Amino acid sequence: MASKDYYSILGVARNASQDEIKKSYRKLAMKYHPDRNPGDKAAEAQFKSINEAYEVLGDPQKRSLFDSGGFTEGFEHGSAGQAGSPFGDLFADVFSEFFGGGGRGGPHPQQGEHILRQVELSFEEAALGREISIKLSRWESCSPCSGTGAKNGKAVRVCSTCRGTGYIRIQQGFFAVQRACSACGGEGRVVTETCTNCSGRGRVSVERTITRTIPAGVSSGVRVRINGEGHAGAYGGPSGDLYIDITVKPHPFFSREGDDLVVEKKISFLQAIFGDDVEIPTLGSPLPLKLDAGTQPGSVRRFRGKGLANPQTRQVGDLVVRISVEIPTKLTREQREILEKYAAVSGDGGTHGTGSSQDGGGIFSKVKSIFE
Ligand SMILES: [Zn+2]
Ligand SMILES: [Zn+2]
């Protein structure tokens, strides 16, 4: 499902306009429509995938979700509760102009729109997970009229023009064309007195605060879906979903590589030479690390399972410690003399200047070169 390329199914470019998509869909759907290919299983399968593709690409909101990738499964529930047509509302909208025999009429369920929000988390919040509250205003079904838009939900009569079917059929050459009934706007019913609470819309705007726990280990670019927390559907259709795009702020010294938590540990050149017991910062309490004598700059130490959780795989990465060695930038006269002695003893001082302590080009750059 997730790997289907709806664009190639409809034979359009990824940057095609909604109009081009609709045109191409109509052309293909007419070609493969079961009425024109009776008993042809391949055409029927083709017809189904064309409709599936158009159900997504024909809706700019679903299309942008599809383009962003990874959430195609979120489109599947739209067909639940659809009466009459297995292909959803877009199908009906386009096909009502071309084909007869659909048999659907009257108000049909429509899924509510999705809502998209951005949330920025600190590095620690993303790593450890946290509860977030999102304030939003969304359409909800009007309760006094049960979403009908009619006073008390009862001030409705069946449309006499279309006798409640919502459409009118006209024979036009090859096709039986069916058009939405203009008397009732295709709803099959006429409201005789509108609900004052929602002014007949059937939905009211409501402020809500949605609280959810974002799982530990989310990273930037992750989109979290909360089912059913979008706008209310119409005529008993399901609510849309709430999508949350996560951005994670960078940390001053931690970074993320895959599921590994990476930290640079700076040690002095003396700690590198003699070894030492040091502490490594983590997102919890620090961990002790024993440095061996002769620890090399750039060496890496790993703490298994002390990294970041992966909410998808439920695995936990490692804490990766990269050792860097700090070279002093200023030496006292005494320190310099000691290091020059070291250089002489180790036979390593041949290139450094002897007397001039000004430019630091001698022993100091030697020490530096050892560590770089
Ligand atoms: Zn009507
Ligand atoms: Zn109402």
- Residue 164 in any domain: the answer is no
- Which residues line ion ligand 1, judged by CB < 5 Å? 159, 161-162, 181, 183-184
Same domain for 120 and 211? yes
Same domain for 225 and 123? yes
- Residue 89 in any domain: the answer is no
DSSP 74: G
Strands 300-303 and 319-326: what pairing?
Answer: antiparallel
Same domain for 280 and 345? yes
Distance (Å, whole) CA 145 – CA 197: 8
- Is the pLDDT at 104 greater than 60? The verdict is no
Percentage of residues in the chain with pLDDT exceeding 70?
Answer: 81
Minimum mean pLDDT among 122-136, 154-168, 290-304, 353-367: which range? 353-367
Indicate which ligand has the atom closest to the C-alpha of 147.
Answer: 2
- Residue 86 in any domain: the answer is no
Same domain for 228 and 319? no
Cα(205) to ligand 2 centroid in Å equals 11
Cα(52) to ligand 1 centroid in Å equals 29
- Residue 178 in any domain: the answer is no
Cα(172) to ligand 2 centroid in Å equals 39
Distance (Å, whole) CA 187 – CA 145: 16
Same domain for 124 and 66? no
Minimum mean pLDDT among 73-87, 195-209, 234-248, 305-319: which range? 73-87
Same domain for 133 and 221? yes
What 3-state class would DSSP assign to 8?
A: helix
Q: What CATH number has the domain bearing residue 8?
A: 1.10.287.110
Domain that holds residue 306: 254-371
pLDDT of the residue at 337:
93
Same domain for 206 and 128? yes
11-to-20, 22, 24, 234 alpha-carbon distances in Å = 10, 11, 7, 32
Beta bridge partners of 352: none
Q: Could you tell me which residue, 97 or 77, shows the higher pLDDT? A: 97
Same domain for 271 and 300? yes
Distance (Å, whole) CA 61 – CA 45: 26
Same domain for 239 and 264? no
- Is the pLDDT at 164 greater than 90? The verdict is no
pLDDT of the residue at 84:
32
Q: What CATH number has the domain bearing residue 357?
A: 2.60.260.20
- Residue 154 in any domain: the answer is no
| Side-chain-side CA neighbours of residue 122 (13 Å) | 9
Please give the average per-residue pLDDT across 313-332, as a whole number.
93
- Residue 145 in any domain: the answer is no
The DSSP string of 291-307 is EPTTPPTT-EEEETT-S
Same domain for 114 and 245? yes
pLDDT digits (tens, 9 = 90+) for 57-93: 888 877 877 776 543 333 322 323 333 333 334 434 4
- Name the domain boundary from 249, 274, 289: 249
Please give the average per-residue pLDDT across 339-363, as a whole number.
63
- Is the pLDDT at 95 greater than 90? The verdict is no
| Side-chain-side CA neighbours of residue 60 (13 Å) | 5
Cα(198) to ligand 1 centroid in Å equals 22
Same domain for 234 and 321? no
- Residue 170 in any domain: the answer is no
Please give the average per-residue pLDDT across 188-217, as a whole number.
91
What 3-state class would DSSP assign to 272?
A: helix
Same domain for 276 and 356? yes
Domain count, the chain: 3
Indicate which ligand has the atom closest to the C-alpha of 155.
Answer: 2
CB 318 within 8 A of CB 304: yes
Q: What b/e sequence results for 82-118 when a residue is b if at least 16 CB atoms lie within 10 Å of its CB, and e otherwise? A: beebebbbbbbebbbebbbebebbbbbbbbbbbbbee
Minimum mean pLDDT among 4-8, 209-213, 276-280: which range? 4-8
The highest-confidence range among 11-15, 101-105, 250-254, 359-363, by mean pLDDT, is: 250-254
Cα(290) to ligand 1 centroid in Å equals 82
- Residue 91 in any domain: the answer is no
